[in-house]
Amino acid sequence: MTNSMQVELVQSAAAESWGDKALLSFSGNAATVHATAATGEPLVAAQRAARRLDGMGVPAVTLVGDGWDLERRWAFWAGYYNPNRDNRLDWGSADEAELKELAAREAAARWVREITNGTPQDVSPEVLAQSAADLLHELAPEAVSYRIVRGEALLDEEIYGIHAVGRGSDRAPAMLQLDYNPSGDDGAAVDFSLVGKGITFDSGGYSIKPSSGMATMKSDMGGAAMVTGGLALAIARGLKKRVKLYLCCAENLISGRALKLGDIIRYKNGVSAEILNTDAEGRLVLADGLIAASADEPRWILDAATLTGAAKMAVGRDYNSVLSFEDDSAQMVLNAAAAEHEKAWRLPLESFHLEQIPSGFADIANIGAEGTPGASTAAAFLANFVRDKGRGWVHIDLSGSYLPGANDQWAQGAKGHGLRTIARFLQEN
C-alpha cells in the first residue's frame, strides 16, 4: 500500500524524550506502538494506538515487524475502523490461513458495524431482514434458504408480537426465517436456533423516550445484526452444523395504530402478555422468534438483544451480559467469549424471577414488578416462550455492543463486540 504509515509494535518503552507513558513514537513515515505496563498489554495497546492514529487523520496503515500476531492485528483493525472514513489497512502478513481468518472477521464485523450504524431511514425492518439474508446467502448459496414474512402476513402465521410492535409504523414489520443446512438433507436435525432483536428504531412508543435516550436507538437492532454476523463468521470458518436464524424486525413508533399500555398480546404458544410499558418492546418481538426456535427442537437456542438499560448499569459498555437458567449453557458462551478475546459476564437468572412479572389481566406483564432486577426479569419474560421455560437456552443482553461516543479503544457507534463469541459457540458446541 503506497503512501501508508508503517506501524510496528514492540513491548519496550519509547525513548525518554517521548515520555515514560508514551504509547506511540514516530520517525518519518513510521510509527511505533509501545506495549508496556504503562500503556497496556499488547491487544489493548494496539487498539488504543489505532484510535490515536485515526484521530490524527492517518488514512492508510501497513503493519510491519515481528510484533504483530493474528489477535494484535485484529485489535488494531477494531480500533482503526471509523464509520465516517474509509481507513485502509494492510495487515502486513504473508500467512495464508491468518489472512483468511482476518478477512472473514472483517467481512462479518464490517457488516455488523455498518448496518447498525445505518440511519433509521435507510435501515427499515425489511431492509435489515433482506440485508442479513443476502450476506449469508452470498457466503453459502447452496446451503442457505430463507423467507421473509411481512406486514399483515405475520398475523396469518400467528406472529403476533412483531406485528403488534411494528403496526404503529408505516413501514411493515418483518420476520426473517433462514435455514443454513450444509448437509442438504431436509430431515437433518437442527443444531442451533438463533434469534435476534431487530428494532430498527425505538421511539419508546407511547412510553416515549426523551431525546437523549432516543438519539442512539437506530442501534436497537444490534441483536439481529450480531447473530447474523456470528453465523456469517462461523460459515466462513467452515461450519458444518445446521442453524436456523430468526430476525424479529420492527419499528417502534407512535400512531393511531400503535400498541398501547393495557393491550394484551396472546402468543401462538398460548401465553398472554399485558403491555405495561411500550418501551419494553424488544422482548415482545423476541417472543415470536423463541417460539419458532423452540419448535425446531435444536440442541441449543441462543438469542441476542440490546434489551435492557439494567444490563448496562450492571456491567457497563465493555462487557456483554449472559443469562441462562443452566450453568453449563451459560458457561459455554462465557468460554466462547474468553477464547475469542471478547468480554462477557453472567447475570443472575433464577426460577423465582419468573414470578416477578405478574399481571392481573394476562399470564405475565412485559415489565417486572417495582424493585425487581430489570435484566433478569426481561430474561424471565423471554423464558415463557422457550421450550420447557428455558431448556438449552442462553440469552445475551448486548451491553457492550454500541458506544454513544468514541473512547480510547472504539469509534462512536457499533463495535461488533459479540459476533466472535457467537461464532465460536456455534463451532464448538
Task: State the catalytic residues.
Answer: 209, 283
Return phi, psi of residue 231, to 5°: -65, -40
> H or E segment at 147?
strand 144-150
- Residue 252 Cα distances to 27, 196, 207, 220, angstroms: 52, 16, 11, 10
Cβ neighbors of 255 (< 8 A, separation 6 or more) are 168, 169, 170
Nearest to 102 by CA among 112, 92, 113: 92
Sign of CA dihedral 208, 213, 215, 221: negative
Sign of CA dihedral 105, 110, 116, 120: negative
Cβ neighbors of 97 (< 8 A, separation 6 or more) are none
Return phi, psi of residue 123, to 5°: -105, 85
Q: Determine whether 61 is exposed, middle or buried from the number of CB atoms within 10 Å of its CB (0-12, 13-18, 19+).
A: buried
> H or E segment at 224?
helix 222-236
> H or E segment at 163?
helix 160-166
| Contact indicator for 65, 10 with CB cutoff of 8 Å | yes
Buried b or exposed e, range 149-170, using 16+ CB within 10 angstroms: bbeeebeeeebbbbbbbbbbbe
For the residues of 58-126, what is the DSSP string, one character each? --EEEEESTT--HHHHHHHHHHH-BTTB--EEE-----HHHHHHHHHHHHHHHHHHHHHHS-TTT--HH
